[in-house]
Structure 1
Amino acid sequence: MTTRNERHLTLDALRTLIEDGEVDTVVLAFTDMQGRLQGKRLHGRYFLDHVVGHGTEGCNYLLGVDVDMNTVSGYAMTSWDQGYGDMEFVMDEQTVRLLPWLPATAMVQCDLEWPDHRPVTASPRAILKAQLDRLAAHGWTAYAGTELELVVYEDTYEEARRKNYRDLVPANDYNVDYSILGTTKLEPLLRDIRNHMYAAGLDVEGAKGECNFGQHEVGFLYAEALTTADNHVVYKNAAKEIAAQHGKSVTFMAKPNQREGSSCHIHLSLRGTDGELVFWDEEAGARTPLYDRFIAGVLATAADFTLFFAPNINSYKRFADGSFAPTTLGWGLDNRTCAVRLVGRGAGARMENRIPGADTNPYLALAAMIAGGLHGIENELELEPELTGNAYASDKPRVPSTMGAARELFHASAVTRAALGDEVVDHYANMADVELAAYNAAVTDWELVRGFERL
């Protein structure tokens, strides 16, 4: 069994580490609808004797709960009436890795299957793999990189909860975008994150400061799309755990306060199965017609798929004019006001989707981009002219501004249903319904301040 790189483990190598006493805990994890790692911690000996070759199970409610893990109604695949049965955790042996920030611990990421071995189609990893299979049928492979921003606070998670997430102390108290001095203050934490991530099999590029107080970005080298999504969720979970070890907290909310939001810009390109360029004509020194159709498809379907790019109520607070988060659906060459920014030439030619925030589920966002691009290719869509200047002031169609609007577009779209299937579309529309109902029932601080005395 080949590994993704020399820092990943084969199952045989993990067996040896367990038998030698160097690993005693194995985390089996899958990614849920909210983009979180869920699963079990197993004793190493039990993992070898009873799980390897046999698998393990978890309750199917794990793909049918809200962010607070409450069981909610409306899901076809899981309910009280169906008894909340099990799903099988199926290990992907290419994902075996050490978690060096935790003692003697390794992790294996999993796909989900029903007891009769049918895939759980609403699983985020299954949704992305289905779109990658569509690409493979054309002879293409997707490569992607996710640029994920976070905000660091001096408060621990426990302190933040006790303070009701108010008056938290950001790790920097001024804009440290690209500042070496400003990032030095947090270098003990950022260095730990970078080095632990490298040891866990991720290819780290570096870290830089961002605009919001305490906001930073740790960057990773692009990889095949499934690898990038797997690494993304490992990093997101690890950053929180490592921050907690430093007595701090981090958030990946898209808009944690009224300053700049946190993005997850996604870079994507296609290659042939032998690595040949698909998006660039070297002889002509220009984009290929296929690349243009792919971009046209992403733009044409962006509103329909926004629910996958912006999956939470808070996601939509980030879309504001002049914020470096897009509000209109256009494309431009190296233009950061556009929803789609084209960068690079030759082997580096790629599109950057600037719609997703840091709270996006990478499997779903990548699946949406691929499905949109294939829609453009298969229907031979023509790419509209480049948008030059300020996209915020353009007359281009708008990014959906609320989760309710995005939910309606997603649920009613013939494109999303053709690409993902009715089961997946209805499942994630219900996820939106659950969040919208919870939000609409909440009385916010804003309402109390505005109305308690003055209305």
Structure 2
Amino acid sequence: MNKLKKWLKDNKITEVECVVSDLSGIARGKIAPVDKFISEGEMRLPESVLLQTVTGDYVDDDIYYSLLDEADIDFICKPDEDAVYLLPWTIEETAQIIHDSYDKMGNPIELAPRNVLKKILKLYADKGWQPVVAPEMEFYLTARSDDPDLPLQAPIGRSGLKETGRQSFSIDAANEFDPLFEDMYDWCEAQGLSIDTLIHEEGMAQMEINFRHGDPLQLADQIFVFKRTLREAALKHQVVATFMAKPITNEPGSAMHLHQSVIDTETQKNIFTNEDGTMSSLFLSHIAGLQTYVPEMLPMFAPNVNSFRRFLPDTSAPVNMEWGEDNRTCGLRVPNCTPQSRRVENRLPGADANCYLAIAASLLCGYIGMVEELKPSPPVQGRGYELRSPMLPYTLESALERMESCEQVSQYLGESFAKGFIAVKRAEQENFKRVISSWEREFLLLTV
């Protein structure tokens, strides 16, 4: 704690937000005065936090008590000294510190998303491999609304006008929100977030922020922090930032594209490339692993009912597990780059996915492909949007059934995680079914 205590003192911190990520990616935790944080050295939270749904509900009692203690005991959260961030938007000098979760015996909690990612990274480390990722986060800016039944609207920019039509890569359209993005960049710099380019995406007021490549755990932490940072910047400027996968009808969805490669820890060379610069067998097996197992673990990439609206026909998202070189119509794209930078871009994850779980699952799929020496299908030449092999589940229900029957999920992620994650998502699905939609009122009210 000495390093952390010095940092808190040097930055004149008065309050500390002690946080963990729940299964949905929501920041849960406690806010403590800095003296209390230092004196206690750790935080305790009730185990129930780990099985809480996005609506604040819980899973059925049978599953709940099969995974958690009946007394609803606490688990222990210890701060990670390498996951400490300033909160530039607060009045008081405040730090946000990401914690790791342990049981009372000191064992990592299997249900904690950050521990899930650590578990996968250890699989790589045991092979002498170091995975590298570079996420791309898409999101929408929208006007504020207090009525969830009303469709979201594009916000008013500096010109006093709303966007009309598609503005892909438009500099002027992005500049409409310069004051917001200036705050975002300043705040991200203050927190040490490795953000790179800003792009106006295809949808109205839809943007993309790219992160520089690096360590998967550090970047998962940074995405976790970035989502909060962007929302705060948007609120300051009287708009809303959303990472919903499909927030607006007839507009493109928002993805979390994941570029991933693997370095040999001894030679520091990219294991995806042979000495002569060609694709290695490990690279092809990594792609084959993604092709084979992403459909089995799809809820970790598309965790919500809304996530599957990105995969409807005639959308800009590829609904396939094909691969191709420099081909954005494939679910797996191999960018045009130097041999040492060879990587694959997984274009399936939604922006609404839990960053720890999506990165863990994507790396796990590639890992299984390498250890099982799987072979990929031939690369796609030309347009791949219409290709549907292998088939992806089209609903959250069918995706959860498929994940539940996948032996590798329990084998590598643990039975408790698999059971708990699937139970939380099923509870959310049941909650969704109880809501009567505006479509039903519009088309069924007076016609059936």
TM-score class, shorter-chain normalisation, is: over 0.9
Are 1:24 and 1:105, in contact at CA under 8 Å, matched by a contact in 2? Answer: yes
In 2, Cα distance between equivalents of 1:114 and 1:449:
50
Match of 2:325 among 329, 333, 354: 333
Residues 356-389 of structure 1: CA deviation (Å, up to 9, x unaligned) = 1110111111111122112111111112210112
Show the 5 A alignment for 1:1-400.
10-17=3-10, 22-48=12-38, 50-52=39-41, 55-73=42-60, 74-76=63-65, 82-103=70-91, 104-155=93-144, 160-162=145-147, 164-166=149-151, 168-171=153-156, 172-174=162-164, 175-258=166-249, 259-274=251-266, 275-281=268-274, 283-343=275-335, 344-400=337-393
In 2, Cα distance between equivalents of 1:89 and 1:59:
11
Are 1:96 and 1:109, in contact at CA under 8 Å, matched by a contact in 2? Answer: yes
Aligned amino acid, residue 62 of structure 1? V
In 1, Cα distance between equivalents of 2:364 and 2:207:
31
Please state whether the residue corresponding to 1:100 is helix, strand or coil: coil
Residue equivalent to 1:441: 434
Are 1:170 and 1:213, in contact at CA under 8 Å, matched by a contact in 2? Answer: no
Q: How many residues align?
A: 436
Please state whether the residue corresponding to 1:93 is helix, strand or coil: strand
In 2, Cα distance between equivalents of 1:114 and 1:317:
38
TM-score (norm 2): 0.93
Q: 1:163 to 1:313 in 2, by over 3 A?
A: closer
TM-score (norm 1): 0.92
Aligned amino acid, residue 207 of structure 1? L
Please state whether the residue corresponding to 1:278 is helix, strand or coil: coil
Show the 5 A alignment for 1:416-431.
416-431=409-424
In 1, Cα distance between equivalents of 2:150 and 2:140:
13
Shift of the alpha carbon at 1:14?
Answer: 2.0
> Larger deviation: 160-169 or 377-386?
160-169
% same residue: 28
Aligned amino acid, residue 176 of structure 1? Q
Residues 376-424 of structure 1: CA deviation (Å, up to 9, x unaligned) = 1111111221011221223522221100111011000112122212211
Aligned amino acid, residue 212 of structure 2? L
Are 1:315 and 1:359, in contact at CA under 8 Å, matched by a contact in 2? Answer: yes
In 2, Cα distance between equivalents of 1:164 and 1:405:
27
Are 2:142 and 2:152, in contact at CA under 8 Å, matched by a contact in 1? Answer: no
Q: 1:43 to 1:406 in 2, by over 3 A?
A: same
> Larger deviation: 241-250 or 288-297?
241-250
Q: 1:406 to 1:245 in 2, by over 3 A?
A: same
Please state whether the residue corresponding to 2:133 is helix, strand or coil: strand
Gapped regions of structure 1 (runs ≥ 5): 2-8
Aligned amino acid, residue 166 of structure 1? P
Are 1:194 and 1:206, in contact at CA under 8 Å, matched by a contact in 2? Answer: no
Q: 1:77 to 1:168 in 2, by over 3 A?
A: farther
In 2, Cα distance between equivalents of 1:403 and 1:240:
27
> Larger deviation: 25-34 or 101-110?
101-110
Residue equivalent to 2:159: none
> Larger deviation: 329-338 or 438-447?
438-447
Aligned amino acid, residue 313 of structure 1? V
In 1, Cα distance between equivalents of 2:358 and 2:219:
12
In 1, Cα distance between equivalents of 2:148 and 2:366:
44
Are 2:53 and 2:425, in contact at CA under 8 Å, matched by a contact in 1? Answer: no
Q: 1:43 to 1:262 in 2, by over 3 A?
A: same
Aligned amino acid, residue 304 of structure 2? N
Q: 1:145 to 1:438 in 2, by over 3 A?
A: same
Shift of the alpha carbon at 1:241?
Answer: 1.4
In 1, Cα distance between equivalents of 2:148 and 2:370:
51
Q: 1:394 to 1:70 in 2, by over 3 A?
A: closer
In 1, Cα distance between equivalents of 2:262 and 2:3:
28
Are 1:240 and 1:249, in contact at CA under 8 Å, matched by a contact in 2? Answer: yes
Q: 1:367 to 1:448 in 2, by over 3 A?
A: same
> Larger deviation: 102-111 or 224-233?
102-111
In 1, Cα distance between equivalents of 2:282 and 2:324:
17
Residue equivalent to 1:4: none
Gapped regions of structure 2 (runs ≥ 5): 157-161
In 2, Cα distance between equivalents of 1:231 and 1:395:
34
Aligned amino acid, residue 64 of structure 2? Y
After superposition, the CA RMSD in angstroms is 1.8
Please state whether the residue corresponding to 1:389 is helix, strand or coil: coil
Residues 267-316 of structure 1: CA deviation (Å, up to 9, x unaligned) = 111112242221112x3121111111111111111110101000000000
Please state whether the residue corresponding to 2:146 is helix, strand or coil: helix
Please state whether the residue corresponding to 1:287 is helix, strand or coil: coil
Please state whether the residue corresponding to 1:365 is helix, strand or coil: helix
In 1, Cα distance between equivalents of 2:71 and 2:226:
34
Are 1:153 and 1:169, in contact at CA under 8 Å, matched by a contact in 2? Answer: yes
In 1, Cα distance between equivalents of 2:66 and 2:239:
38
Are 2:55 and 2:428, in contact at CA under 8 Å, matched by a contact in 1? Answer: no
In 2, Cα distance between equivalents of 1:303 and 1:267:
18
